[in-house]
Chains A and B, each alone.
Chain A
């Protein structure tokens, strides 16, 4: 637990630009399907196989984020037809638009999609990252 907290604290510092180790982090940027949200996925390292990834998602929008906004995570390998090996969760950190991604693993190298469904009373949206490692 302490390790997870320390890792996440370090990641938060990196996100805030307070560290010189940004070269070790891995980032992806994407816009939601509706175009309403911009998202940055930041992980402590580039994707690796079979170990839990330390990642966070930062959402921003020209308008205020819906107060009831919640996220679910999904993903998989389109070429192989299988999903993520685990059921990761997006956990609000308390900072506006910031979510810690817990329980994310990849089972093999190749092309992956990692998707975030955005739920709120205002409607649904999605953000899909595509990457290969």
Chain B
């Protein structure tokens, strides 16, 4: 009798455990996994771009994104580095367009959910970010005046711009614009820009900003697909034992989740992991003034947002020392498809990334924010197996 009761008791306990939806996760693990679930991600919203959810603008933005004519040599489009087959990254250590850049090309999937753009966060909106490569000598190498001329003199583009915008420069005004001019170009391009009447410069900037907003409308439509982690909460058989062990390391001993939290697997901040280069590339610290003074930022005249709603910019830290050597915490979604890693693509593989974190965290007199991490070789393998789930 006592044996039967004992067995019944064991069966009851085991049954209750199994009733835990058949999951291998503890309640705490389930809560944490739920916080990473894509389904919890709110819809992206950018009040600084009135075209962000406009299908017509997104269709135009897609044409602009893939158009290599928007470049100095007619061969560089946004899609040159943001390649759809690489989750809209390029698989190279650093971007290569008109010249070799200094930063790794990030994936664009889900990027509309970001607070800051570029590895150092020097732009505070997707549309403002889209403008910078167009005039970067190492990327498209164009000027805003050349872009406006091309777009408004091209019949197909012009009709779409007229359908979406008012107060566009007349063809006569466009004909009077310099061939090449920009406030951020070469000395000659700057002189040409300054030779333009203020009203003409204003009109060019309006069209230029709108071009960024159209491109952003398209890029905003590049949504993330659910991954196996998103289904693993209610279906633990979706993961292998190694992946489950890796998930536990991610949430616990390896401390990845401290920064790679939330449904985007990033806390949207800038952290010093010891990859900055003193005097050469201090990351976030070097852009605190430029983002605040950017004429295309959230509080600028080309933004569609009320300035007081630009809270990220309003409460931007002014303490350079606190963010010296810090770079943006990237999303880990699709991380297996977006090698190489880190802001300058210095790590070719996930194995190298994990080795770096473990080794860097052991350093005495460390000059970074990393916590101490110790992982065995088997644990590293499990963690990498889990990262490939993402």
Contacts from A to B (Cβ < 8 Å): 1, 49-50, 52, 79-89, 102-103, 105, 107-110
Cβ of A82 and Cβ of B322 under 8 Å apart? Answer: yes
Q: List 30 A-B contacts (CB under 8 A).
A: A1-B306, A1-B308, A1-B309, A49-B262, A49-B267, A52-B311, A52-B315, A80-B369, A81-B369, A82-B272, A82-B369, A83-B322, A84-B317, A85-B267, A85-B269, A85-B317, A86-B315, A86-B316, A86-B317, A87-B317, A87-B319, A89-B315, A105-B315, A107-B267, A107-B269, A108-B258, A108-B261, A108-B267, A109-B258, A110-B258
Cβ of B271 and Cβ of A82 under 8 Å apart? Answer: yes
- Which chain A residues border B261 with CB–CB below 8 Å? 49-50, 108-109
Whether B110 is near chain A, meaning CB under 8 Å from some CB there, is no
- Which chain A residues border B322 with CB–CB below 8 Å? 82-83
- Which chain B residues border A81 with CB–CB below 8 Å? 369
Cβ of B267 and Cβ of A50 under 8 Å apart? Answer: yes
A84, A85, A86, A109 interface centre (most CB from chain B within 10 Å):
A85
Whether B133 is near chain A, meaning CB under 8 Å from some CB there, is no
Whether B75 is near chain A, meaning CB under 8 Å from some CB there, is no
Apart from the given pairs A84-B317, A87-B316, 15 other A-B contacts in the complex at a CB distance below 8 Å = A1-B306, A1-B309, A50-B269, A52-B311, A80-B369, A82-B322, A83-B319, A86-B315, A86-B316, A87-B315, A87-B319, A89-B315, A102-B315, A107-B267, A107-B271
B residues 232-265 touching A (CB-CB < 8 Å): 258-259, 261-262
Whether B371 is near chain A, meaning CB under 8 Å from some CB there, is yes
- Which chain B residues border A103 with CB–CB below 8 Å? 311, 314-315
Contacts from B to A (Cβ < 8 Å): 258-259, 261-262, 267-272, 306, 308-309, 311-312, 314-319, 322, 369, 371
Q: Take A1-B306, A107-B269 as given contacts and tell me if A79 and B317 are in contact as well, using a CB distance cutoff of 8 Å.
A: no
- B331 CB, min distance to chain A CBs, angstroms: 13
Cβ of A79 and Cβ of B311 under 8 Å apart? Answer: no
Q: How many A-B residue pairs have CB under 8 A?
A: 56
- A53 CB, min distance to chain B CBs, angstroms: 11
- A116 CB, min distance to chain B CBs, angstroms: 16
Q: Take A83-B319, A86-B316, A108-B267 as given contacts and tell me if A50 and B306 are in contact as well, using a CB distance cutoff of 8 Å.
A: no
Which residue from chain A places its CB closest to the CB of B317 in the assembled complex? A87
- B309 CB, min distance to chain A CBs, angstroms: 7
Q: How far is the CA of A83 from the CA of B261 in the complex (A)?
A: 18
Q: Take A49-B261, A107-B269, A109-B258 as given contacts and tell me if A79 and B371 are in contact as well, using a CB distance cutoff of 8 Å.
A: yes
A50, A87, A108, A109 interface centre (most CB from chain B within 10 Å):
A108
- Which chain A residues border B309 with CB–CB below 8 Å? 1
- Which chain A residues border B314 with CB–CB below 8 Å? 103
- Which chain B residues border A110 with CB–CB below 8 Å? 258
- Which chain A residues border B316 with CB–CB below 8 Å? 86-87
- Which chain A residues border B371 with CB–CB below 8 Å? 79-80
- B53 CB, min distance to chain A CBs, angstroms: 20
- A72 CB, min distance to chain B CBs, angstroms: 12
Q: Which 5 A-B pairs have the closest CB atoms?
A: A103-B315, A86-B315, A107-B269, A108-B258, A85-B269
Q: How far is the CA of A83 from the CA of B316 in the complex (A)?
A: 13
Q: How far is the CA of A84 from the CA of B308 in the complex (A)?
A: 21
Q: How far is the CA of A86 from the CA of B317 in the complex (A)?
A: 5
